[in-house]
Structure 1
Amino acid sequence: MATPVFSLAAAAAAALIFACAAYAGDPFAYFDWDVSYITAAPLGVEQQVIAINKQFPGPVVNITTNWNVVVNVLNSLDEPLLITWNGIQQRKNCWQDGVLGTNCPIPSGWNWTYQFQVKDQIGSFFYFPSVGFQRAAGGFGGITVNNRAVIAVPFGKPDGDITLFIGDWYNKNHTDLRKMLDDGKDLGMPDGVLMNGKGPYRYNATLVPDGIQYETINVEPGKTYRFRVHNVGISTSLNFRIQNHNMLLVETEGLYTVQQNYTTLDIHVGQSYSFLVTMNQNASSDYYIVASARFVNESLWTRVTGVAVLHYSNSNGKASGPLPDPPNDFYDKYFSMNQAKSIRMNVSTGAARPNPQGSYKYGSINVTQVYVLKNEPPAVINGTRRTTLNGISYSPPDTPLRLADLYNLKGIYTLDFPSSPLDRPPRIGRSVINGSYKGFVEIILQNNDTTVQSYHMDGYSFFVVGMDYGEWTESNRGTYNKWDAASRCTTQVFPGAWTAILVPLDNVGIWNLRAQNLDSWYLGQEVYMKVADPEGYNKTELTVPDNVLYCGFLKDKQKPQESHRKQSSSPSIATGRSKLLTLMLLFATAFAVVS
């Protein structure tokens, strides 16, 4: 009987060695989410909103650089669901990206587990549902990635950390808004702007009905707080300001910025910023926190204003009187653009690593590919109203692009997206950009529409090196900032203007480049970029997860889900060491039983 015991012990030892290698590293953070509808009335009208664990907005994912994140999502909606992680770069792991180009949606009633690492990242980001116009109903929440303790932060530790979601909002359900777009209609003016899922404080009895719940931020006099502000709205650029308080900008979407004070800042759809705000006022009353619509007819859009309250613990009364003024740039169309250009990289500080952010000399890298991506006002294509990039309106296939590649399916998409606009009628297609792995691509986003558009690229941060009004020409390269341009994942493009970005293609996968304006995105203003390792995907990319979902031409591979796990509302964090100790105990117990 000695031989079996020795064999089991050897097997246990081998498994233990493997476990040491697999789990002795970075911590794991576990989250269980139940995504469901709840009834709410943010602007005084009851409607169906999307909540996570009954929370609207959803919980903040508070993690640290290099942690492994495991999010188990139960889809309790009545339609398919995907969650995308806006700004989390998913290094060589587009399988977890949560968009239709890489993932089959989670069917109603099913659960699916995302697992990814926030590798070498810090900063302020957010997540949201990416299909079916669902973000218009909620389902969003914050992602805070903290520095490791060994990496210095370029400012003192704040006395508090506050996440604030701002965004335009409609009283119609997202399904009604979706149908309007499908029927070729504009969504029209929003019904208001929410702050943390709540309507405006009643600063004006005519514009704001009585009984609306508003957000209050409680603070202590003399203390400094970090405000992480995310525009999670549908299509409206918002100006953010805090009455009588300076906002010291310190970070945007994973980049520590040159520290500058702003009294107001334009935050476009999909963008995230961090400010330090010191409570240095006399607290004679509460103060307004305001997010108001930009680049619109302000006399018509007056009610589309979000107002929260900043409440000092020693405040002597409620906020009253007129709101602080928005920027007066009627005669200066460059005001907002120059403000955007003023946001620059702090080249002397580290971020996720100790080396300075400016040590990456992006301005001296040779460009290997150039793409000019032009959008136009919506056009009717095949009888339907669509939006385009370079005359192509993207229509997602039933089989995700990356999954089609894995199984060598042909005809799902074409690898021929034009590098510049072509002189031909617009069309619906599934054309993909062929990106060169380890190349350096220059992308010019040309906005020939009449509204501000925001663009986001999954899997990457890019350098925003230039923007101006008019049509981009090669001579504009002479104006690029090649030293301390902001590195971020979402940038605005003003109407009748261009924005130039530089992207190092070091992340293997198929990645989504899209309009963050939800209506533009829904109607086809997106493209995917394929970045393949010439040696083969399996050389550098993480392998397909065991729990991959199948759909489209691969639907027969999908096994039914028979049961769901019980949900918990709070995350748990486990280090590799604690997992290892658990395994050691299990092996020791098994060894003792056999002995």
Structure 2
Amino acid sequence: MAFFRVFSLIFIYISLFISRCLAGDAFVNYEWDVSYINVSPLGVQQQVIAIDGKFPGPVVNATTNNHIVVNVRNKLDEDLLITWAGIQHRRNSWQDGVLGTNCPIPPKWNFTYQFQVKDQIGSFFYFPSLHFQRAAGGYGGFIINNRPVISLPFDTPNGDITIMIGDWYTRNHTDLRKTLSAGKDLGMPDGVVINGKGPYRYNTTLVPDGIEYESIDVHPGKTYRIRVHNVGISTSLNFRIQNHNLLLAESEGSYTVQQNYTSLDIHVGQSYSFLVTMDQNASTDYYIVASARFVNESLWKRVTGVAILHYSNSKGKATGPLPDSPNDIFDKTFSMNQARSIRWNVSASGARPNPQGSFRYGSINVTDVYVLKNKPLEMINGKRRATLSGISYVNPDTPIRLADQFKVKGVYKLDFPNFPLTGAPRMEASVINGTYRGFMEVILQNNDTTIQSYHMDGYAFFVVGMDYGDWTNNSRGTYNKWDGIARCTVQVFPGAWTAILISLDNVGVWNLRAENLDRWYLGQETYVRIVNPEDTNKTELPIPDNALYCGALGKMQKAQEISSGALITSGRSKLFFTLLMVLFAAISNLF
């Protein structure tokens, strides 16, 4: 009887614990093997980076406030980090997956990422952040769904489709980075891939026979949410679906004013959600197209991605010419006006019940101003480098956030200039000193000859203005201070500027970078360091138990065995595990 009394009491206690403590935000767990596989997306066999043998990798599917746990086993022959573009990691830059915050995962090692998608919704993607690896794949979609208690600002779609588009080279990513390190340009891409596959053979001259292409199955009369991500290297792409309207609904965590587009320019690193209704007859399949923008079309015709939209009752294959792309090679304003037309849906609720527009960013006083200017590549110390405001960033051996945690001196300089340097450019680890709870205005001035995209980790910023020419103080008079879209990646046209506003409420060290891989690899980035002067875990989570150590802190790293199986993922889970051990001990003592 004693056994049953003890067992019953412990069972009741554990049941109460589960109901009160584990009934909160759910955990979403993944176990990933990151390795090389051989595929032929453009008809040439090459080595790509796969996750669990898949290229692209699996889509992470979560709901607002879920805890994400991803155990990454590095089976490459070089260091690895996975970054989660657009995921804000509230209070937790330790999980950002870039060199400013994390030591790399060595080959044959593993690292478990754990973070909460706190107060977020929307369409994002992940990718490897080191060594030009994104050019070899390793990327996948990341969906954060609304909680059931918060309705969508549109009817629930009949399906959800992720499409990843990007320019592609048939050369290995190691060869591409050697080319850049040698001071040479990458040259024209070999094609555009859609979900890791080459183009449908719409033209027998431009597209060789035998290439595997993507085909997306749909049903007539149904409406689908199609999430499109430009995961490429450096090429802006125009996305369109033959004879179908693209009703824009969301971009990188913000619901937009719903507008129809026949096509939309999607720049490197950007993500959009469209609602597409299958309202055409099924006499044939339809083309899905991603074609290069702002290039010499006659030279780039073969650099076009083509997939197939297949109705379940289709009567034949897609035929004929591709749907036209915007014809504005001599009209600089079309794409910019299209970008300006994308507005924030101020009345829609996002992750919280209150409308997005209840955050009145236009009435907040600016506390810091930074003008970040990029130029064509220039020589620094005999190396061809990319710069921001005259500084080409060099990653220190010890990540910035680790250096702060353990008070390692001399790792970086907190001296990034508010305005571009007037002297000779230099290479160093220069970081922006952000003001906690400040409101930063950043002007991205593009004095290069190509379109650039810029991304900031840990934040959604407000795109308030863009125009051609040089930004001046008078340019503020053109700002949109009411419904400028909030997003994490924005394009800057050549010879033009884009202005963004950032509310610095997320403590940590956050990467601000060019999304164009060639410019990022050559130093066009910095970090924004945001510190709460009050020492409290309420605004930043403590260093994780599984943190990796390198550089000046390398001696702190212990040997590691690759883990597998179930993960103990939180303090509550550990406590639950402890209670189970108490139960087993109690049972053992009764015998």
Give the structure 2 partner of residue 179 of structure 1: 178
Give the structure 1 partner of residue 394 of structure 2: 395
Distance in 2 between the 1:86 and 1:52 partners? 17
> Which residue type is aligned with residue 463 of structure 1?
F
> Which residue, 557, 561, 564 being the options, matches 2:562?
564
With a CA cutoff of 8 Å and minimum separation of 6, indicate the structure with the bigger relative contact order.
1
Give the structure 2 partner of residue 541 of structure 1: 540
Deviations, residues 529-581 of structure 1 (Å, cap 9, x unaligned)? 000001136452100000000000110110011x323479xxx9999999987
Deviations, residues 346-403 of structure 1 (Å, cap 9, x unaligned)? 1111010111000001000000000000000000111111000000000001100000
> Which residue type is aligned with residue 124 of structure 1?
S
Give 3-state SS (helix, strand or coil) of 1:300's partner.
Answer: helix
Asked whether the 8 Å contact 2:285–2:318 carries over to 1, the reply is yes
Asked whether the 8 Å contact 1:24–1:580 carries over to 2, the reply is no
Give the structure 2 partner of residue 594 of structure 1: 589
Distance in 1 between the 2:563 and 2:389 partners? 45
- How big is the shift at 1:587? 4.0
Pairing 1:270-285 to 2, within 5 Å after superposition? 270-285=269-284
Unaligned runs of 5+ residues in structure 2 are none
- How big is the shift at 1:440? 0.3
> Which residue type is aligned with residue 546 of structure 1?
D
TM-score in terms of structure 1 length: 0.95
Asked whether the 8 Å contact 2:413–2:430 carries over to 1, the reply is yes
Deviations, residues 405-450 of structure 1 (Å, cap 9, x unaligned)? 1111111001010000121011101110000000000000000000
Give 3-state SS (helix, strand or coil) of 1:371's partner.
Answer: strand
Distance in 2 between the 1:583 and 1:288 partners? 56
2:332 aligned with 1:337:
no
Give the structure 1 partner of residue 467 of structure 2: 468
Give the structure 1 partner of residue 411 of structure 2: 412
Distance in 2 between the 1:577 and 1:95 partners? 20
Asked whether the 8 Å contact 2:14–2:576 carries over to 1, the reply is no
Bigger shift: residues 529-538 or 495-504: 529-538
> Which residue type is aligned with residue 476 of structure 1?
S
Give 3-state SS (helix, strand or coil) of 2:475's partner.
Answer: helix
Give 3-state SS (helix, strand or coil) of 1:144's partner.
Answer: strand
- CA separation of 1:11/1:158 partners in 2, compared to 1, >3 Å: closer, same or farther? closer
> Which residue type is aligned with residue 330 of structure 1?
I
Distance in 2 between the 1:43 and 1:520 partners? 25
Pairing 1:274-423 to 2, within 5 Å after superposition? 274-423=273-422
- How big is the shift at 1:23? 3.7
Give the structure 1 partner of residue 499 of structure 2: 500
- CA separation of 1:149/1:366 partners in 2, compared to 1, >3 Å: closer, same or farther? same
Give the structure 2 partner of residue 117 of structure 1: 116
Distance in 2 between the 1:430 and 1:12 partners? 55
Asked whether the 8 Å contact 1:381–1:426 carries over to 2, the reply is yes
Deviations, residues 200-230 of structure 1 (Å, cap 9, x unaligned)? 0000001000000000001111111110000
> Which residue type is aligned with residue 66 of structure 1?
N
Distance in 1 between the 2:297 and 2:396 partners? 40
Count of matched residue pairs: 587
Deviations, residues 299-350 of structure 1 (Å, cap 9, x unaligned)? 1100010000001111111111100000011342110001001110111110
Give the structure 1 partner of residue 156 of structure 2: 157
2:514 aligned with 1:515:
yes
Distance in 1 between the 2:572 and 2:376 partners? 55
- How big is the shift at 1:584? 5.6
> Which residue type is aligned with residue 304 of structure 1?
V
> Which residue type is aligned with residue 562 of structure 2?
H
Distance in 2 between the 1:11 and 1:99 partners? 44
Deviations, residues 52-88 of structure 1 (Å, cap 9, x unaligned)? 0000000000010000000000000000000000000
2:83 aligned with 1:47:
no
Asked whether the 8 Å contact 2:446–2:495 carries over to 1, the reply is yes
- How big is the shift at 1:458? 0.2
Asked whether the 8 Å contact 1:23–1:580 carries over to 2, the reply is no
Give the structure 2 partner of residue 550 of structure 1: 549
> Which residue type is aligned with residue 80 of structure 2?
L
Give the structure 2 partner of residue 97 of structure 1: 96
- CA separation of 1:441/1:15 partners in 2, compared to 1, >3 Å: closer, same or farther? farther
Asked whether the 8 Å contact 2:57–2:139 carries over to 1, the reply is yes
Distance in 2 between the 1:283 and 1:236 partners? 33
TM-score in terms of structure 2 length: 0.95
Give 3-state SS (helix, strand or coil) of 1:299's partner.
Answer: helix
